[in-house]
Amino acid sequence: MHIALIAHDKKKSTMITFVKENEHVLQEHTLYATGTTGLKIMEATNLQVHRFKSGPLGGDQEIGAYIANEKMDLVVFFRDPLTSQPHEPDVNALLRLCDVYEVPVATNKTSAAVFLHALKQDKGIFQR
């Protein structure tokens, strides 16, 4: 599976903790991330991550293009709901594309854990 990992600044530590806790599951998949999030994941784990640009610099749109071209199977996007984001239109567009192309998206640690648990139980669950 192709999995995107994205985290707003105040959620990056939550993402790193989540990825470290689930490294054994994630290592079986192709991982993508926006710039800083991907770098921090690679520094904290043994995982290889294809890094796009930073979210505000177009990384969210790059991941959106993968979704639109059916090259992304799952998005884990730890959003900061309490801080205004300068690239909010890009965030909304990314979430809209997930809905249009029926790509599962987890926006917090609990929903991401449910998706990874489902992945472990049935590897074909997210196939289109």
Q: Render pLDDT for 45-94 as a digit per residue (tens, 0 to 9).
A: 999 999 999 988 999 999 999 999 999 999 999 998 878 777 788 889 99
Task: Kindly report each contact of residues 96-101 with a partner whose C-beta sits within 8 Å and lies 24 or more positions away, as own/partner.
Answer: 97/64, 97/67, 97/68, 98/67, 100/68, 101/67, 101/68, 101/70
Q: Bigger pLDDT: 55 or 128?
A: 55
Yes or no: say if 104 and 35 are a contact pair by the CB < 8 Å rule: no
pLDDT value at position 123?
Answer: 61
The helix, strand and coil proportions of the chain, stated in percent and rounded to the nearest 5, come to 50, 15, 35
**How many C-beta neighbours within 10 Å does residue 62 have?**
18
Binding residues for substrate, by number, are 8, 12, 34-37, 54-55, 87
| Catalytic position from the list 60, 73, 80, 99 | 60
pTM of the model: 0.93
> From 3.40.190.290, 3.40.50.300, 3.40.50.1380, 1.10.357.10, which CATH number describes the 2-73+83-107 domain?
3.40.50.1380
- Local confidence band at 44 (pLDDT 50, 70, 90 cut-offs): very high
Q: Quick check: helix, strand or coil at residue 119?
A: helix
Binding residues, by number, are 8, 12, 34-37, 54-55, 87
Q: Catalytic residue at 73?
A: no
**Average pLDDT of 14-30?**
97
